[in-house]
Structure 1
C-alpha cells in the first residue's frame, strides 16, 4: 500500500502500479519493479553472484565495525557496508575462479590514510591470543592514542571475536581469551587503527593465520 505525503504532487512511499516510491538519507525517489529474466544465467554471471554472496555473508555480522573502518571515506550516497563490499571485491577478497573461496589476506575492514599497524604478530597459547605491534608514534600521521581494532575469525566455528579490553597504538599489545576455542581450529587475524575521534582511519593489516591449541 502506498502512502502519499503532501498531496498529489508530493512524495510517496510504497508500491503504486509498476513503480515503488521510497526515501533514503532524506532523498525521495521512484524506481520501477524489477522483472525476472527468462534467459538462463551464464557461467560467469553465476560465478559473480557466488562471489558476491560469499563476501556479503562473511562481512554481514561486521556492520558496526565497518562503520568505524570506513568512516574516513567520502561515502556520499553509499553506506559503509555497501562501500566495504565493493572495496573488498576490488581488492580480490574473493577468488576469481570456482570453487569460490575467501582470500583472507586480501580482506579489508577499513580504508584510509592513517599510519597503518606495523610489525604486527599474533601468538597463541592454550588460553590466550596475544597480538603485538610497533608502538611508536609517527610525527605526521599517527598518535599514541589512536584506537586499535583487532578482529579474529575462527573458520571452523564461523565465529568472530575481539580482544577482551580496548587498546591503543601506544600500548602495543591486545589480548583475547580463547576459552571457547577448540584444539585444531584455524583462525585469521586483522588489525587497523582509527584516530581517537574516529575521523582518521588506517588501512587494514592482515596479521596472519593462527592455530588454536
Structure 2
C-alpha cells in the first residue's frame, strides 16, 4: 500500500481497474486488489473467519456508538478496525466452530474520561432495569453533564437497546425495555461520553439479569 498527494488524475476514492483509492485522516492511500488464492483455507484461517463474522454481526447494530467510543484511537487505525481488533483478541470464547461472545470482556468505548463509580444494575418490576452510580464529577476531566451511556443486549433475540437519558451528576437511571425482552437474559455495559462526544470513558460491564 502506498500514500500519495496527487495521482495521475488527482486523488480518487474507490476501485479503478486493479487499484483501490481511499483516504483516512487526510492521508490518501492507493493499493492493488488482492489476488484470488486457489489454496484451500487452513483450519486457522477458517477459525479466524468464523470469529470475524461473529464479531462483525455482534458489533454492527452499535456501530454509531463504537465509532464515538473508539474515536480517540491514534495513528492510521479507524474506529471500526480498532473495535474489531480488540474484540477479536479479547472477547471470544469457545472452541471451533462454536465460538461465543465473552460478554464481560466487551468494551464499546475506550478512553481517558473517568468512568462510572460504583455502578449497580438491578432488574425492575414490569420489564425494566435500574442503574445507579456515585457522582464523581470532581474527578480529573469529568464533568457533571457527561452523558451516561447504558447499553443492553438481549441474548435470545440478539438485540441492543441503549439510553443516554441521564448525566453523570444524576446518579441513577430507570430504563424500560421492549416487552419481548421479558423472561430473557440481558447483559449491560455503561460508560460516560462528554457533551461533545470527544472524550469518553472506558465502558464497564454491569452484569447479567433476567428480565421479569
> What range describes the TM-score normalised by the shorter chain of this pair?
0.7 to 0.9
What are the Cα deviations for residues 157-188 of structure 1, in whole angstroms up to 9, with x where unaligned? 1111123x621111111222124234321111
**Comparing both structures, which one devotes a greater share of its residues to strand?**
2
Correspondences of 1:3-14 after superposition (within 5 Å): 8=8, 10-11=10-11, 14=15
Change (3 A) 1:42 1:107: same
- Are 2:134 and 1:130 aligned? no
Between the aligned partners of 1:8 and 1:202, the Cα distance in structure 2 is 44
Distance (whole Å) between structure 2 residues aligned to residue 80 and residue 209 of structure 1: 27
1:36 to 1:174, Cα distance in 2 relative to 1, 3 A: same
Q: Find the counterpart in structure 2 of residue 157 from structure 1.
A: 157
What corresponds to 2:170 in structure 1? 171
Structure 2 CA distance, aligned partners of 1:212 and 1:174? Answer: 16
Of the structure 1 ranges 189-198 and 136-145, higher mean CA displacement relative to structure 2 is found in 136-145
Relative to the length of structure 1, the TM-score reads 0.85
Match of 1:15 in 2: 16
The question of whether the paired residues in 2 share the 8 Å contact of 1:51 and 1:95 is answered with no
In the TM superposition, 1:55-66 aligns within 5 A as 55-66=55-66
Tell me the distance in 2 between the aligned counterparts of 1:151 and 1:66.
11
The answer to whether the Cα contact below 8 Å between 1:181 and 1:212 also exists between their aligned partners in 2 is: no
- Closer, same or farther: CA 201–115 of 1 in aligned 2, 3 Å: same
User: What is the count of residue pairs matched by the alignment?
Assistant: 203
Instruction: Output the TM-score relative to the length of structure 2.
Output: 0.85
Residue in structure 1 matched with residue 43 of structure 2 by the alignment:
43
- String of CA shifts for 1:2-41, please: whole Å, max 9, x gaps: xxxx99564555332xx22423245443322222222222
Find the counterpart in structure 1 of residue 115 from structure 2: 116
**More displaced 10-residue stretch of structure 1: 118-127 or 105-114:** 118-127
The separation in 1 between residues aligned to 2:210 and 2:48, in whole angstroms, is: 31
Residues 7 and 117 of structure 1: is their aligned pair in 2 closer, same or farther, counting only changes over 3 Å?
closer
Distance 2:46 2:177 in 1: 38
Specify every segment of 5 or more residues in structure 2 that has no aligned partner in the other structure, as ranges: 1-5
